[in-house]
Amino acid sequence: MRKFPRGATFGRAEGSASPPDLPRGRGAAASILTVPRRALLLAALALVPSACGSAGKTATTPPPPRAATPSPAPERKPAAADDVAVIRGWADALRRGELDRAVRYFAIPSFVSNGTPPIKLTSREDVRFFNRTLPCGAKVLRVEDTGAYLVARLRLTERPGPGVCGAGVGGEASTAFLIRRRHIVQWRRVVEPAPDATPAGPQI
């Protein structure tokens, strides 16, 4: 059976980044922003006399780079009924404790991410393990199509099986889905379905 990193869960309070780890505990992925390498090089070059041209010429400080133009937010629209049926069917099966049925909604292979980098599930056993370790069930509130992903807004519930949703019950979470041929090929936890929050897909 495939081993998963420990620490992250589906359906906890916001602040957990994306998406699977899989035993049932809390966790979050964090990213650290560093000064761009190009900016450091420009700053260093500004302090060094030019090696080209006439002697005695000193380097000049380059002009500051132009601010990047923000990308337009992806247009959101209601998801196709067939795709919504897949997401709702999976959520209903999980909430009722029908694990075998929930597993059948996933393609083999598929990718999941619940607070960790994407993990590839290559067997029904992997998919079953992933679903079994989600502590909460969920009711689908709405599903929107961002063009790249289907983002489902979910209300969290308890569900049969080991583990407890606890304080998560009644809260809301968002998950991004990629559906192909009526099966889930990507399941990715997102913090909030903001207009520019469509998660980046794994490199396949």
Q: Which long-range contacts (CB under 8 A, 24 or more apart) does 60-68 make?
A: 65/39
Q: Is the pTM of this model over 0.85?
A: no
* pLDDT, average across residues 144-153: 95
Q: Quick check: 139 and 123 in contact, CB under 8 A?
A: no
Read off the pLDDT of residues 131-140 as tens digits, 9 standing for 90 and up: 999 999 999 9
* pLDDT, average across residues 104-125: 96
- State the pLDDT at residue 56: 44
* pLDDT, average across residues 156-177: 93
d(CA 102, CA 160): 13
Read off the pLDDT of residues 26-53 as tens digits, 9 standing for 90 and up: 443 333 233 343 443 333 333 333 333 4
- Statement: residue 75 has pLDDT above 80: no
The DSSP call for residue 43 is H
> pLDDT above 90 covers what percent of the chain?
52
The domains found in the chain, sorted by start residue, are 77-190 (3.10.450.50)
Decide which of 189 and 53 is more confident. 189
What average pLDDT does the structure give for the chain? 74
d(CA 4, CA 114): 11
| Cβ count within 10 A of residue 105 | 24
**Cα dist. 202→25, 138, 188, 194 in Å?**
24, 25, 10, 20
End-to-end CA gap in the chain: 22
Q: Quickly state the pLDDT bin for 115 (edges 50, 70, 90).
A: confident
